[in-house]
Structure 1
Amino acid sequence: MGKIKPSVGDAVAKLIKEKKKKIPDDWFDINTSKGLVNISLSHIVVNKDQPRKTFNDETIQELANSIKEQGIISPIMVRPKGRKYEIIAGERRYKAAIKAGLGDIPALIRKVSNGDARIISLIENIQREDLNDIDRASALREIKVNLGLPWTAIGKKLGLTKQRILDLVGLLDLPEEIKEDIRSKKLTEKHGRALRKLKDNKDE
């Protein structure tokens, strides 16, 4: 597990430095809470619009085993949602914490709009090495739609070249069955790009 990356936002890095405190299980004054806290897992809900569509049970179990030994190194990010907290970034860590038998989890609380929460979640997911290329491509396209920026500008924010982004987003033009094979790692991104070239040649 890596540390939170600066590109998710400078404000996040500053919040991590704040004093860690514990939220009692029966405390719900979430609108006044700030910084890094421990939140009961029972008070957290997943984001139904999470950009990451697939989770590998084996790697989550491996993460759970690591958490049992070392704890959670990188906190999740949440926002107030009714009388609970909704995950903005870190659902995989949340799932692993449940498997590890934890009662609570370190979290950063952010008051953000639906749109901003979505962008943060998309960026965090794109930067994960284990995210499959189809979900990564979908997240990139959604960032472009939400931000209205050219690919070059988006690439600079994420440390990706424009060509790399175009290669990924181009995978979304493939038939569903091929995209599913890429999601499940039966095919690689390289295979997908080769199949897309064949498809483009046939269409000409």
Structure 2
Amino acid sequence: MVFVDGFNLYHGLKDKHGRRYHWLDLEALATSLLKEHWQTLTGVMYFTARVRNDTGSLQRQSIYLDALEAHCPKVKIVDGRFQEKVRGCKRCGSTWTVYEEKETDVSIAIALLEHGIKDDFDVALIISGDSDLCPAVRALKRVCPDKRVVVAFPPARWSHDLKLAVTAAFPIGVAKIRQAQLPLEVVAGDGLILRRPERWVER
């Protein structure tokens, strides 16, 4: 079972490759990371939160999530949230609103433990470079010592602490990402055609 830290993956891709690989087929990527012939993908849990501060970004994200649901039957989207915070400048007194993504780490931790205890996987593959997941990995090892936890680091993301906490770790190469892109057009269940956003077209 694969647990994807959506924002860690998104920002890693953006930092390393710009927007060209955002139209990512998570089920295909997850399958490509398994050991061929003796590992079977039972599910992909994608942890994310709906963008709030940019209507263009929200539209692109919604199209992508709808395309994932239509094209990837093994992918389950788990929504977190953005928390609004007001920040200010002490010198000039001006204020502005920022949004911080919340709940992803906790949601991944709970899902990792829940599915491990239910014996839904032999190996958990975490796609993230966030060291905040270390306590969850250690807890799973205590509760279910027979389970293996492997980390696949997104581009431009790495955590020494997380690498030490898991059974094995490796970086996701660009070839895997390039080969795991959704079709340019995905047909949803209602016949709606979901097209890769123009801003994400490779250049």
Query: Under a length normalisation based on structure 1, what TM-score does the superposition of the two structures give?
Result: 0.28
Bigger relative contact order (CA 8 A; separation at least 6)? 2
Normalized per residue, which structure has more strand?
Answer: 2
